[in-house]
Amino acid sequence: MPPVGTTEALRRFVLALLVLGLAGTAIDLLLMGHYESGWQLAPLVLIGAAFVSVGWLLVRPNAASLRTLRIVMVACVVTSLAGLVLHYRGNRQYQLEFDPAQHGVALFWKVIRAKAPPALAPGVMAQLGMLGLIYAYRHPAADRAQADTSTIKGE
């Protein structure tokens, strides 16, 4: 086996972080019962799609598998933003039911500091999405796909 270059070693570390993060987040969501509604299922479905796309890219590194991984990772980032809004709104509604007189900055800080649901917890999906995009950045499968296209065009 040839020695692994620095870029490839870093790529493998990023992949390991991504897989560990996906697994840990999935376990955490399942243990918390984060599957009671369609919105709550979204991160679990995306984590499943991420595992499938990573596996596909590892088994068959080509343009299609790389593109799929990138799409799933962007979806993780977008879903994270939606989750932040949903968690914030849920916490805000609860705080206002508890004390309707709250408003402004004081209300904002109570909402952000709430423990159930944790307002900033969906941010982990953005981190995982970014890790996946870092892993896919200048991935060797893109080079192979470009070389295949050049050969077909006769360049």
Q: What is the pLDDT along the chain (155 residues), one digit of tens a residue?
A: 566 788 899 999 999 999 999 999 999 999 999 999 888 999 999 999 999 999 999 999 999 999 999 999 999 999 999 999 999 999 999 999 989 999 999 999 999 998 888 889 999 999 999 999 999 999 998 876 555 544 445 55
Domain contains 53: yes
The answer to whether position 105 is within a domain reads yes
Would residue 46 count as lying in a domain? yes
User: Is residue 12 within a helix (H) or strand (E), and if so which, with residue range?
Assistant: helix 6-31
User: What is the four-CA torsion angle of 117, 75, 50, 21, rounded to 10 degrees?
Assistant: -40
- Domain span at residue 126 reads 6-143
pTM (predicted TM-score): 0.84
DSSP string, 111-142: HHH-BTTBTTTTHHHHHHHHHHHHHHTT-HHH
107 domain-assigned:
yes
If one counts the domains in the chain, the total is: 1
CA distance 77 to 70: 11
Residue 115 domain-assigned?
A: yes
Query: How far is 24 from 30, CA to CA, in rounded Å?
Result: 10
Domain-located, residue 92: yes
> Is residue 149 included in any domain, yes or no?
no
Domain presence at residue 153 = no
Between helix 6-31 and helix 123-136 the angle, nearest 10°, is 150
The one-character DSSP state at 62 is S
